[in-house]
C-alpha cells in the first residue's frame, strides 16, 4: 500500500469488497475515481493585518444514489488524499444504511485552535464561497466533522443565504436547532456508536453492565459515545483527547468531564481532575484490559505496531478510518470484532438526512421521533451486515462494504454511463 495514503487504504477496502462480490471491473473502475475534486485557495485577513492563504478541498465521490453528503474538517493535516478517502467512505456509509445520498467530504488545512473566532468565521465564509459552485441542497450538502460544529454550519448557511438573497435551510446539516437544525443531531453519531455497540454485545450474549470501555477522542463523537454507553450500564474507564488520557478503573465521571470541556480552552480535558482519576499515556489507552475500544479521533490510530497490544474484544469505529488494513488483519486473526466506521459512525449522517428532510419540508420532528427513527435504521442495518458476515464468513467490514458497494453499483448500472 502506498505509504501514508489514506485514499490507498480506502481503495484497498473497495478492491477487497469488489473481489468478494465479483464486481464488474467496469463498475469498479467508476467507483475507484471520485466524480469531482475541487481545490481552492482561502485567503484570510488575519487579526494582525497579514493575509494568510489556506488550502481547502471539496471532493464528491459518487452521486449515483442521490446528492453528495459529507462533513467539512478543519485540521492542520488535511490533504486532498485524505479528503478523497473520506468522500469514498461517505458513499459507502450512506449506502450501508440505505439513505438516498452519495458521498462527499471537505476540508481546510488549518489548525483552527491557533486562529481567533473572527479569523475562523472569515475562513469559513471564504471557503464556502469558494466551494459554492459545486455545493447545493440537491447536489452536495456539507455537515460538521473534526474541529467544525453547529456554529460553523451556521456561518455556511448564512453565507449561502446572503448570496442567494433568501434563507437556504437545506444547504447544510448539523445546524443549531435555533437555525432549523434537527433535535438529536449533535448526539447522533455517538448515539449510533452506542446502538451499534449494544447490537454487537447482544449478538455475543454479553451484557453492557459487565463491559468496560475505553474511548480515544473526547470531541463530538467520543464524548457522546462515552456518555451514552455509560448510561446503558457500561463502565467507561478511559478517555483521551489531544491533551492526554484519563483513567479510572471503576468508571470515569463522564458527565463532569463533558461539562468541563464545555467551557475549557479549545474544549479540551487539559487540567481536569477528580478523585480517583489518573492521567495515563495516550498510547496506553489502546492497551488497557477493556472489553470495548472506541477510537473516535482520527485515521490510522490502530496500526501494525499497536494492534497486537489491543486486549478489547470489540473495536467500534467512531472515527473514520481509524484502523489500517494491516491492523485489522491482526485483530480479526485473533477473533476480535471490528464494527467498521461506515456502520459504527453512520448515526450522524442518518440524522443529517432527517434534518435535510425536515429543512426541505420546514416541518420539524420531536427528539423522540428522531432517536426512534435513528435506532430503527441502525438496528436493521447492523442486522443486515451481521447476517451477511455470518453467512459468508466475512469480517463486519467486508460485509458492510459489500452491501454498500453492491447498492451503489446497482444504481450506476441502472442509470448507465452518461451520455
Q: Does 150 bind ligand NAD (CB under 6 A)?
A: no
C-alpha cell at 418: 452518461
Q: Is 311 a catalytic residue?
A: no
Minimum CB separation of residue 108 from ligand NAD in Å reads 13
CA dist 310 to 98, 131, 178, Å?
32, 41, 42
Q: Which of 84, 93, 105, 375 is catalytic?
A: 105
Identify which of residues 23 and 200 has a Cβ nearer to ligand NAD in the complex.
200
Q: Does 260 bind ligand NAD (CB under 6 A)?
A: no
Interaction pattern, residues 278-307, with ligand NAD; x per rule: CB under 6 A: ----x-------------xxx---------
Segment 198 to 217, residues that bind ligand NAD, using CB under 6 A: 216-217
Segment 240 to 259, residues that bind ligand NAD, using CB under 6 A: 240-242
Interaction pattern, residues 120-149, with ligand NAD; x per rule: CB under 6 A: ------------------------xxxx--
- Strand ranges of the sheet holding 51-62, from the earlier edge strand across to the other edge: 36-45, 51-62, 102-109, 68-75, 140-144
- Strand ranges of the sheet holding 292-295, from the earlier edge strand across to the other edge: 278-280, 244-247, 235-241, 212-216, 292-295, 314-316, 337-339
CA dist 164 to 144, 161, 217, Å?
22, 5, 37
Q: Rounded to an integer, what distance in angstroms lies between the CA atom of residue 103 and that of residue 365?
A: 25
Nearest CA among 112, 64, 106 for reference residue 82 = 106
Q: Rounded to an integer, what distance in angstroms lies between the CA atom of residue 26 and that of residue 34?
A: 15
Which single residue brings its beta carbon nearest to ligand NAD? 219
Site size for ligand NAD (CB under 6 A): 24
Q: What is the CA radius of gyration of the chain?
A: 20
Stretch that binds ligand NAD, among 108-116, 175-183, 247-255, 312-320 (CB under 6 A): 312-320
Task: Return the residue of 62, 173, 196, 345 that touches ligand NAD, per CB under 6 A.
Answer: 345
- Residue numbers annotated as active site: 105
| Interface residue list for ligand NAD (CB under 6 A) | 144-147, 189, 216-222, 240-242, 282, 296-298, 318-320, 345, 348
Amino acid at each position: 500500500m502506498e505509504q501514508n495514503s489514506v485514499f490507498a487504504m480506502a481503495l484497498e477496502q473497495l478492491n477487497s469488497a469488489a473481489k468478494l462480490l465479483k464486481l464488474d471491473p467496469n463498475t469498479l473502475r467508476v467507483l475507484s475515481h471520485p466524480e469531482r475534486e475541487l481545490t481552492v485557495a482561502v485567503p484570510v485577513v488575519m487579526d494582525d493585518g497579514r493575509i494568510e492563504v489556506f488550502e481547502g478541498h471539496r471532493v464528491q465521490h459518487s452521486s449515483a444514489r442521490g446528492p453528495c453528503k459529507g462533513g467539512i474538517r478543519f485540521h492542520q493535516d488535511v490533504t486532498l488524499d485524505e479528503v478523497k478517502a473520506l468522500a469514498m467512505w461517505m458513499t459507502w456509509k450512506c449506502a450501508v444504511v440505505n439513505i438516498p445520498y452519495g458521498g462527499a467530504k471537505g476540508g481546510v488545512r488549518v489548525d483552527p485552535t491557533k486562529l481567533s473566532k473572527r479569523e475562523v468565521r472569515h475562513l469559513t465564509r471564504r471557503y464556502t464561497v469558494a466551494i459554492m459552485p459545486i455545493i447545493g441542497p440537491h447536489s452536495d450538502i456539507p455537515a460538521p466533522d473534526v474541529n467544525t460544529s453547529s456554529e460553523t454550519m451556521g456561518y455556511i448557511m448564512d453565507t449561502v443565504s446572503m448570496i442567494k438573497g433568501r434563507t437556504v435551510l437545506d444547504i447544510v446539516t448539523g445546524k443549531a436547532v435555533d437555525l432549523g437544525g434537527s433535535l438529536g443531531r449533535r448526539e447522533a453519531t455517538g448515539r449510533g456508536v452506542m446502538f451499534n455497540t449494544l447490537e454487537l454485545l447482544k449478538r455475543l450474549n454479553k451484557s453492557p453492565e459487565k463491559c468496560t470501555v475505553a474511548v480515544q477522542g473526547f470531541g463530538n463523537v467520543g464524548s457522546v459515545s462515552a456518555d451514552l454507553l455509560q448510561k446503558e450500564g457500561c463502565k467507561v474507564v478511559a478517555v483521551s483527547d489531544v491533551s492526554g488520557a484519563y483513567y479510572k478503573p471503576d468508571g470515569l465521571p463522564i458527565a463532569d468531564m463533558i461539562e468541563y470541556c464545555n467551557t475549557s480552552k479549545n474544549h479540551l480535558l487539559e487540567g481536569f481532575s477528580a478523585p480517583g482519576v489518573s492521567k495515563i499515556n495516550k498510547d496506553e489507552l489502546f492497551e488497557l484490559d477493556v472489553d470495548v475500544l472506541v477510537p473516535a479521533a482520527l485515521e490510522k490510530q490502530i496500526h501494525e505496531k499497536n494492534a497486537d497490544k489491543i486486549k478489547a474484544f470489540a473495536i467500534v469505529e467512531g472515527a473514520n478510518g481509524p484502523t489500517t488494513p494491516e491492523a485489522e488483519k491482526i485483530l480479526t486473526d485473533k477473533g476480535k470484532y471490528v464494527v467498521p466506521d461506515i456502520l459504527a459512525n453512520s448515526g450522524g449522517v442518518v440524522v443529517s438526512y432527517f434534518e435535510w428532510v425536515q429543512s426541505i419540508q420546514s416541518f420539524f420532528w420531536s427528539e423522540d421521533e428522531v432517536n426512534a427513527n435513528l435506532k430503527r435504521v441502525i438496528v436493521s442495518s447492523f442486522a443486515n451486515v451481521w447476517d451477511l458476515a455470518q453467512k459468508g464468513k466475512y469480517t463486519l467490514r467486508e460485509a458492510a462494504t459489500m452491501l454498500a458497494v453492491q447498492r451503489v453499483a446497482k444504481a450506476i448500472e441502472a442509470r448507465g454511463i452518461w451520455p
